[in-house]
């Protein structure tokens, strides 16, 4: 008889992530694909169909989400309800449970009745998964769009906020990520060609362009179109960055654009580090507690951890499975966490 497998889903506004895990905690699948949910629910349906072909048969599905935020929906209540309905329509014969933070997993009807507990609870799933496995540390998940910061100690998730608004106020949620964040929000002005110059308030370039030029962004990490719809080479990234300064690529050597990219990457690191400092200042973690890094942008964290004089642990190293699976599970930490949490209810 085949070993029972649980599937975890993280339904985002820009990506759909899925992971599969057995009751022993072994990964069997970990996948992320782009999904322009804001353009219509048919994009989610198409993504689910694609993922179906890659996943193993599974009766139990745990679901978390942030896609209820997209402007396809009038508000979060509508978004949560319609995403639940979409999952029920796609998996009519499966056991579906929706993650509701401290409330745990909810049946579909209960989840629809309590949208405030289900909306954007994916970060809590990651923290709870680590807490239940005895981890202590500052969990930081740097994704394509946002960064989650969460202290974990004594088997518990120590958050001051739960809603997006509350979490942004206390800097447990920082709206910066390594692919989709517009460059203009990272700095008001930059040093270039011996002068200080402001940036255009235009969507000409994104953080993906910056991290491609620094050489830190994994080659398969940026799954969406670029700001101008052109390619993703170093030269094309530099051309978009040049436009932020009202310049053309040919106005400076590629090395100058790389230097500018390093400066902007440092600005983003400082933004994340300052938020981490604020959360650490609560005094909930011992001095030796590590930074636990997840997300496609976790390459930013080892340097920040060194500056904070803390060890660094990678979420991938806490997973069981082959290296490629563990890498994708670290990028899709909430999906992996939900799979691990819901797998505990699989009958022996």
Q: pLDDT tens track of the chain, all 348 residues? A: 467 899 999 999 999 999 999 989 999 999 999 999 999 999 999 999 999 999 999 999 999 999 999 999 999 999 999 999 999 999 999 999 999 999 999 999 999 999 999 999 999 999 999 999 999 999 999 999 999 999 999 999 999 999 999 999 999 999 999 999 999 999 999 999 999 999 999 999 999 999 999 999 998 999 999 999 999 999 999 999 999 999 999 999 999 999 999 999 999 999 999 999 999 999 999 999 999 999 999 999 999 999 999 999 999 999 999 999 999 999 999 999 999 999 876 554
Q: Would you give the distance in Å from CA 205 to the centre of its chain?
A: 20
152 part of a folded domain? no
Instruction: Write out the two tokens for 188.
Output: 């008001």
Question: Is 264 found in the same domain as 326?
Answer: no
Task: Give the orientation angle of helix 76-90 with respect to helix 41-52, to 10 degrees.
Answer: 40
Buried residues in 115-136 as b, exposed as e (16+ CB within 10 A):
bebbbbbbbbbbbbbbbbeebb
Residue 259 lies in a domain: yes
CATH number at residue 215: 3.30.420.190
Q: Is 156 contained in some domain? A: no
- Nearest alpha carbon to residue 185 among 166, 212, 162, 210: 210
Q: Is residue 309 part of a domain?
A: no
262 and 330 assigned to the same domain? no
Please identify, among 272, 306, 334, the residue that sits at the C-terminal boundary of a domain.
Answer: 272
- Look at residue 315 and tell me if it is in a domain: no
Give the pair of three-digit tokens for residue 118. 């289900």
Question: To which H or E segment does residue 327 belong?
Answer: helix 323-331
281 in any annotated domain: no
* Residue range of the domain that includes 337: 5-134+320-343
The DSSP code for 250 is: G
CATH of the domain at 328: 3.30.420.40
Q: Tell whether 224 is covered by a domain.
A: yes
* Measured distance CA(169)–CA(307) in Å, rounded: 24
Whole-model pTM over 0.85? yes
Separation CA 87–CA 108 (nearest Å): 10
Considering its fold, how many domains does the chain have in total?
Answer: 2
**Whether 115 and 234 share a structural domain:** no
User: Residue 315's Cα: distance from chain center in Å?
Assistant: 13
């Amino acid at each position: 008889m085949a070993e029972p497998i649980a599937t975890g889903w993280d339904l985002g506004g820009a990506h759909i992530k899925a992971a599969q895990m057995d009751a022993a905690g072994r990964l069997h699948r970990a996948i992320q694909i782009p999904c322009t949910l804001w353009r219509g629910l048919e994009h989610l349906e198409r993504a689910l169909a694609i993922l179906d072909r890659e996943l193993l048969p599974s009766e139990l599905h745990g679901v978390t989400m942030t896609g209820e935020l997209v402007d396809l929906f009038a508000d979060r209540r509508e978004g949560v309800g319609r995403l639940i309905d979409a999952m029920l329509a796609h998996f009519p014969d499966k056991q579906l449970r929706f993650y509701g933070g401290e409330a745990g997993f909810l049946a579909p009807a209960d989840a629809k009745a309590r949208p405030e507990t289900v909306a954007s609870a994916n970060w809590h799933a990651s923290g709870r998964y680590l807490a239940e496995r005895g981890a202590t540390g500052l969990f930081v998940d740097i994704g394509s769009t946002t960064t989650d910061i969460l202290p974990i100690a004594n088997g518990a998730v120590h958050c001051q906020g739960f809603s997006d608004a509350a979490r942004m106020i206390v800097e447990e949620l920082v709206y910066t990520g390594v692919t989709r964040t517009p460059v203009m929000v990272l700095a008001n002005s930059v040093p270039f060609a011996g002068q200080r110059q402001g940036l255009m308030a235009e969507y000409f370039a994104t953080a993906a362009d910056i991290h491609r030029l620094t050489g830190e962004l994994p080659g398969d990490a940026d799954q969406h179109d670029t700001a101008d719809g052109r390619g993703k080479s170093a030269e094309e990234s530099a051309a978009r960055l040049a436009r932020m300064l009202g310049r053309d690529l040919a106005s400076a050597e590629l090395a100058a654009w790389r230097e500018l990219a390093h400066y902007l990457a440092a600005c983003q690191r400082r933004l994340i580090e300052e938020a981490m400092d604020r959360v650490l200042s609560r005094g909930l973690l011992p001095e030796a507690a590590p930074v636990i890094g997840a997300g496609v942008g976790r390459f930013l964290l080892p340097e920040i951890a060194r500056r904070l004089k803390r060890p660094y642990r990678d979420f991938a190293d806490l997973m069981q499975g082959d290296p490629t699976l563990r890498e994708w599970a670290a990028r899709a930490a909430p999906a992996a966490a939900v799979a691990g949490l819901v797998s505990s209810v699989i009958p022996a």
